[in-house]
Amino acid sequence: MHAYLFPGQGTQFPGMGKQLYDDSKLAQDYFNRANAILGFSITDVMFNGSAKDLKQTQFCQPAIFLHSYILSKTLGKAFKPSMVAGHSLGEISALAAINALDFESGLNLIAKRAIAMQKVCDDENAGMTVVVGLYDVIVKDICDQIDGIVVPANYNALHQVVISGEMKALKEASEKLKPGAVRVLNLPVNGAFHSPLMTPIIEEITLAVESTKFNTPICPIYQNIKGRPTTDIELIKSNLIDQLTHPVMWRHTILHMIEDGATEFTEIGPGNFLSGLVHQIDNKVKTFRVS
């Protein structure tokens, strides 16, 4: 069975989508529609913006959504997923790719999510750090010892956990984790996603999700909260909201997909981050990428 994966924030890069735009009339149409829907030239930011520009959540999230979604559409009939999953914002890309959201609805939802999260980023001195080489229970135990908000945000692989929180608490946790870790590295994001610091925008995101029209998807999506499959629209919506303040259970998601028969994983979007995680989680399955 073939599974498709859609990346999240941190995979952006300057010039992303430019070759896709140049090579595909279909892609050009989608990108031009996106500029009109968003009310600004996202293509200018993607094709000509700096890494600093693309780090901003309000630009980064629509850019990654567009890159992933448009790639999936250029595959045409070759896109035949048995199941899908998306990492953080990639969950919305995945839902649009499997027709649970139409293009405009998906892009508008991403834009509202990005603007709301940008406001929190502007208000908080916070960030995210990846910890490589320690078991997730050790990382969580260290976070629990810190005075301040710092929590595991992404359980990416057995020995890779992203922590998220207030900068002071994040730095303290990082110092405690460094002696036992292979690597402790700050991520190119400007907010503490998947942490209690996102609580102020739950009401705004709930309104955005509830006002968006969802359709029954063409295949199950394994969502970040539990890593279990669903096609139920109400559950999909509540999981999208809960995702803001809860960790991304990525390792569990991939293991559940494999248990349910996935033997091939194709990553659609910028970079190869998710393919690498799949290989870490189970190196017997095949991985591909479309980027």
Catalytic residues: 88, 194
Q: Residue 73: beta bridge partners?
A: none
Give how far Cα 277 sits from Cα of 54, 89, 253, 268, Å: 23, 17, 11, 14
* Strand-strand pairing, 183-186 and 221-222: unpaired
Q: Tell me the CB-side half-sphere exposure of residue 133, using CA atoms within 13 A.
A: 10
Q: Which of 145, 143, 146, 180 is nearest to 162 (CA)?
A: 143
**CB-count burial class (<10 Å; 0-12, 13-18, 19+) for 91:** buried
Helix locations, 243-286, DSSP H:
250-259, 273-281
H or E stretch including 129?
strand 126-132
Question: What's phi and psi for 56, nearest 5 deg?
Answer: -65, 125
- Token pair 């405690």 is found at 176
Query: In angstroms, rounded to a whole number, what is the distance separating the alpha carbons of residues 158 and 81?
Result: 26
The number of beta carbons lying within 10 Å of the beta carbon of residue 274 is: 27
| Cβ pair 28, 111 in contact under 8 A | no
Query: In angstroms, rounded to a whole number, what is the distance separating the alpha carbons of residues 121 and 118?
Result: 5
